[in-house]
Amino acid sequence: MQKVVAVAAVLAVSMSCSSTDRDATPPPTTDRSGPSLVVDWSGLVPRPTRVVDGEGEFVLGEGTAIVVDADAAEPAAGLLRGYLADVIGTENDATDGPVVRFTEDGVDHSLGDEGYELEVGPDGIEVRAGHASGFAWAVQTLRQGLPPEVHSGEVADGTTVRIPAVTVHDQPRLEWRGVMLDVARNFFDVEEVERLIDVAALYKLNRFHLHLTDDQGWRIQMSGYPELTEVGAATRVGGGPGGFYTQDQYRDLVKFAADRGVVVVPEIDVPGHTQAALASVAALNCDGVEPPPVATNAVVLTSSLCVGKPEVDAFIESVFGELAELTPGAYIHLGGDESAGTPTELYPGFVAKVAATVRSHGKIPIVWEEVGGALGADSIVQSWNKPEGARAAVDAGANLIMSPAPRTYFDMKYDPSSALGATWAGTIDTRTAYEWDPLTAIPGVSPQQVIGVEAALWTGIIGSDNHIDTPEEAQQLLLPRLLAPAELGWTGSKPDGWTDFSVRVAGQAPAWAALGLSHTADPAVPWCAPPC
Ligand code: TNX
């Protein structure tokens, strides 16, 4: 089925500090009279697998149609339409003129689920992929070049965009490219989370891990236990107001992400990090009488569900069952970290039982490294601190996600002079976040068992009175550093790659400003002087 979804389009694509052609004269290949913008393909983050320059250019403007030949491309084409909304003119159903065409025809199947080809020639743009996520990433490649005016909706009428002919052939190196947001210590509303999911998608990160529960908050509505959000969502670190996602809001978040090629990975952390649950549901405590209050300080406590109690088993079945039902993605994270309050002899059996519950609902269990080899094959272990847990996990047949704190914990300060952030895992500037390789980070672990990399934004700053409670602070801690794991996961790093990478990172700043995103002016990055 062929559908024409758009219309007069002005796609403005301009990249990097060196792109200064905004005010260039109109292109010779068109008689359109408005201003023209020029695309520069050199600054993409992550760098695509292969970019081959072609001859000539495509001039995009009023009258350009977006044609969808593949059902799998509908969400991506819809997004492109949205990105261009402020510059698209009247409806155009004509397919005989210049088009941006989404098609599965002629796709190179070796590109896998996430790969795509983007071919720009004088007559139009063809986007080829075999799956929805490939189309999604192709659109983000196009979008990433949009000049600030287009992101902010400040394009003059009649603008055209000259896109140099190119063929981009692109696919990721690693299947798991994630970012975690701790919404338990500090709550972020749906709009704020969607904004961060959108940033993740812009850099082709394909997993958004929501740390939904902890000592300081329970953030997802559960119909079996309404107390969890009535009591457990009331507050946040520092004692300010809390919040939670209704099931409908959670479904919306998941859909928002899915349309962008991003899978939401929800985490309910058990048996430790559970004081918000213990405060809400008295029966989860061993004494069952006097539950502790929800924590409001940024410390890791020794809370634990009362492992072995039938009420705890019923709770696990209910909340993980409900979460699985709400979550179309393949994964559920069950935490398992820092459970100092759980009797050591009961801990491995308990996490194995929770993992069995997750599997019985058709999902793949993910755990933090403390669980080690307790779950065996068909599980994923997230390594953050000590190599022993990761080694035990791979010995037992599990796969690894690499989140080493000194490289990926973006609640750390950029440098010792940073106002915001912790230092327990050191300081992490963008270069430190870039110059390592997830595949070889743990000696003795085979690269085949490392499925990817994930950055983490914890929002209670351990060992400090300050904490992250505004969206701007979260953005400042993520940008620019988040681009490092994005590049490592998609392209990989070269030992001498920092200079090239850092220039491309610097070139993103105007887009962030236009999108209303804050960032940190990390001195490690060669920011260009405006206008750039
Ligand atoms: C460790 S990593 C934690 C979190 C803290 C974080 C602070 C992990 C599984 N647990 O509970 O918020 O450090 O950096």
Q: What is the mean pLDDT of the chain?
A: 89
Q: Give me 100's structure tokens.
A: 């941006």
Q: Does position 182 have pLDDT exceeding 60, yes or no?
A: yes
Instruction: Single out the residue of 505, 429, 485, 498 nearest to residue 172, CA to CA.
Output: 485
Q: Does position 277 have pLDDT exceeding 90, yes or no?
A: yes
Q: Does position 23 have pLDDT exceeding 60, yes or no?
A: no
Task: Give burial (CB, 10 Å; 0-12/13-18/19+) of 325.
Answer: exposed
Separation between Cα atoms, residue 103 and residue 101, nearest integer Å:
6
Q: Does position 29 have pLDDT exceeding 60, yes or no?
A: no
Using the mean position of ligand 1's atoms as its centre, give its distance from the Cα of residue 237 in Å.
14
Number of helices (H), then strands (E), belonging to the chain: the values are: 16, 18
Catalytic residue among 74, 311, 338, 435: 338
The predicted pLDDT at position 331 comes to 98
- How confident is the model over 489-512, as a mean pLDDT? 94
SS3 state of residue 102: strand
Task: Say if residues 69 and 105 touch (Cβ distance below 8 Å).
Answer: yes
Q: Which atom from ligand 1 is nearest to the alpha carbon of 422? A: 14
Nearest CA to ligand 1 atom 9: 337
- Among the residue ranges 245-254, 291-300, 321-330, the one predicted with the least confidence is 291-300
pLDDT digits (tens, 9 = 90+) for 308-361: 999 999 999 999 999 999 999 999 999 999 999 999 999 999 999 999 999 999
The predicted pLDDT at position 86 comes to 66
Nearest CA to ligand 1 atom 11: 300
> Strand pairing of 3-6 and 65-68?
antiparallel
Residue that wins the pLDDT comparison between 79 and 60: 79
Nearest CA to ligand 1 atom 6: 458
Q: Does position 211 have pLDDT exceeding 80, yes or no?
A: yes
The predicted pLDDT at position 241 comes to 94
Residue % of the chain over a pLDDT of 90: 76
Using the mean position of ligand 1's atoms as its centre, give its distance from the Cα of residue 459 in Å.
9
Q: Indicate the pTM of the whole model.
A: 0.93
* Largest Cα span, the chain: 80
Alpha helices, DSSP H, located in 369-470: 387-395, 405-408, 430-434
E-assigned strand segments in 271-408: 331-335, 364-368, 380-383, 399-402
338 is catalytic: yes
The predicted pLDDT at position 27 comes to 37
Give 292's pLDDT tier (boundaries 50, 70, 90): confident
Residue that wins the pLDDT comparison between 10 and 129: 129
Using the mean position of ligand 1's atoms as its centre, give its distance from the Cα of residue 90 in Å.
51
The predicted pLDDT at position 89 comes to 45
